[in-house]
Structure 1
Amino acid sequence: MRPAARAIILDDDDRILLVRFDFPEKEPVWATVGGGLEPGETHEQAVRRELLEEAGLEDVDLGAPVWRRTHVFELGVRWDGQDELYFLVRTTPFEPCPRHTWAQLNAEGVTAIRWWTPDEIEQSEELFAPRRLGELLQVLLREGPPAELLDVGM
């Protein structure tokens, strides 16, 4: 499994910033900003790097991870999936301005970035990761971060 770090970026209006991944012969999926750890990198370092590369967001306060997701899938020869830790990031509304170019993002499968409300996610026919993202967000917003790391499933 490839270790990965992801960010649940929520603005003051409780919208979440998601990126759309399009891979050949797979259904497009909307997911949180994040990705795999580089050699020698901690989860915290990785999520900060990904926030900058994919959203242009830096100097954020990170707490402990709130969610964990193990996702099994074919990822080339080296990995058979990802073990992801999700960090909550609260921010004021901003227009995403990735540090990576769109060519770099496209090479990683990223084709779009946008803000979503939990209701939009619940009503959408798009595919999200985790699959229960709308429901999980509603609980997170209502109850706050869990006392213990929550396994969010597929």
Structure 2
Amino acid sequence: MSAGHAQTTLRHSARAVVLDGHHRTLLCRHVAPGPTRPVAVWAAPGGGVEPGESVLAALCRELREEVGLALDADPPQVWHQEVVGLGGPAGHAGVVNDYFLVRAASFRRRGAMTDDELTADDIAGFRWWTLPGIAAHRGPDLFSPRDLATPPALLIAGGVPADPVPPGL
């Protein structure tokens, strides 16, 4: 692939909005180098779709690897997000995130990845967040999407949309 082509491609990722019975959502804390200090972002578990892999297969693989969650049915896709620029993945102009709603009982993360493998993937931790906790958070950590409290609240109140909707930035 030429350097010019790499700059115009978007990395495709599959992510899970994991909600437990108390409407808490499981998030991964990603820490990456920033211009002046590391940047921490809480995001839904998931990751890149490998060449030849379907989005759902990628979602299942990522959930097994990162958090140890095995899906017994195909979850509904609820959000579709395209982010161009904003410091996208290396070699890509941005990312396409397809989000799927996964309902699960609360569990302790026991993924297949070791701590060293998680660190190599810039993952520094996991936490179950309440939606009010996300909305009230004032620390230096960010959320992806930035207003992460609103889209899950809409899912809880209104159910799964007929077609995937943008979750916001």
The normalised TM-score by structure 1 is: 0.94
Bigger mean CA offset, 29-38 vs 52-61 = 52-61
Number of equivalent positions:
153
Among candidates 72, 76, 90, match of residue 64 of structure 1: 76
CA distance in 2: counterparts of 1:23 and 1:142, whole angstroms: 34
* Aligned residue type for 1:70: E
Q: 1:90-128 deviations in whole A, cap 9, x for unaligned?
A: 011111111100100110100011100111101112310
Residues in 1 aligned to 2:68 and 2:31: alpha-carbon distance in whole angstroms:
21
- Aligned: 1:107 with 2:112: no
- Out of 65, 71, 74, the position equivalent to 2:88 is 74
* Cα drift, residue 31 of structure 1: 0.0
1:130 pairs with 2:145 = yes
RMSD: 1.2
Letter in structure 2 aligned against 1:142: A
Name the structure 1 match of 2:15: 6
Whether the aligned pair in 2 keeps the contact of 1:62 and 1:88 (CA below 8 Å) is: no
What one-letter code is carried by the residue in structure 2 that aligns with 1:75?
P
Contact persistence 1:70–1:153 (CA under 8 A): no
Cα distance per residue 1:40-90 (max 9 Å; x no partner): 10000000001001100113333331101112233222x121101000000
Distance change (3 Å), C-alpha of 1:28 and 1:90: same
4+ residue runs over 6 A deviation: none
Using the size of structure 2 for normalisation, the TM-score is 0.86
Conserved in 1, the CA contact under 8 Å of 2:88 and 2:95?
no
- Opposite residue 72 of structure 2, the aligned amino acid is V
Structure 2 runs not aligned, ≥5 long: 1-9
Which of these residues, 77, 94, 109, is aligned with residue 96 of structure 1? 109
Q: Which has the higher strand share?
A: 1
Match of 2:129 in 1: 116
The Cα offsets for residues 110-147 of structure 1, whole Å up to 9 and x where unpaired, read as 00111001111011123100111101111111111112
